[in-house]
A = this chain, B = another copy of it.
């Protein structure tokens, strides 16, 4: 089971539609199961600093097969994984907006969204995933 570019674009489009709806320009990326970028875009006026974060939220969600939000909970000070964000050459993002993509329960990739407040990033990422299912 592999993710195709056509599927990846649909995920991006679903997220973009939600970002437009809530009026927050976003960086949106989809990575494959190897953590490699398949499709990414920056909406007009979206933050430059979020290009890297969107792709790396996707990478992180694939790398640990969980949302970046969940990884973040375990990575706070005094929690079990505190410090993990400095590993993997700085590619791990430990706040919400990265969500695994699965086919019949099998990990095939992930979406990463960055550009707004974290709850907005999550809402937009979820919209992309919803279209995938």
Contacts and interface: CB of A to CB of B under 8 A. Distances in A.
Interface of A: 4-5, 8-9, 32-44, 47-53, 56, 60, 62-65, 72, 75-78, 80-90, 92-95, 117-118
**This chain's copy number in the assembly:** 4
Contact of A39 (B33, B40, B88): B40
A94 B77 CA distance: 11
Given A56-B87, A87-B90, 8 more contacts: A34-B35, A35-B48, A47-B63, A48-B62, A50-B63, A72-B82, A81-B95, A81-B118
A35 B80 CA distance: 24
B65 A36 contact: no
Contacts of A5: 41-44
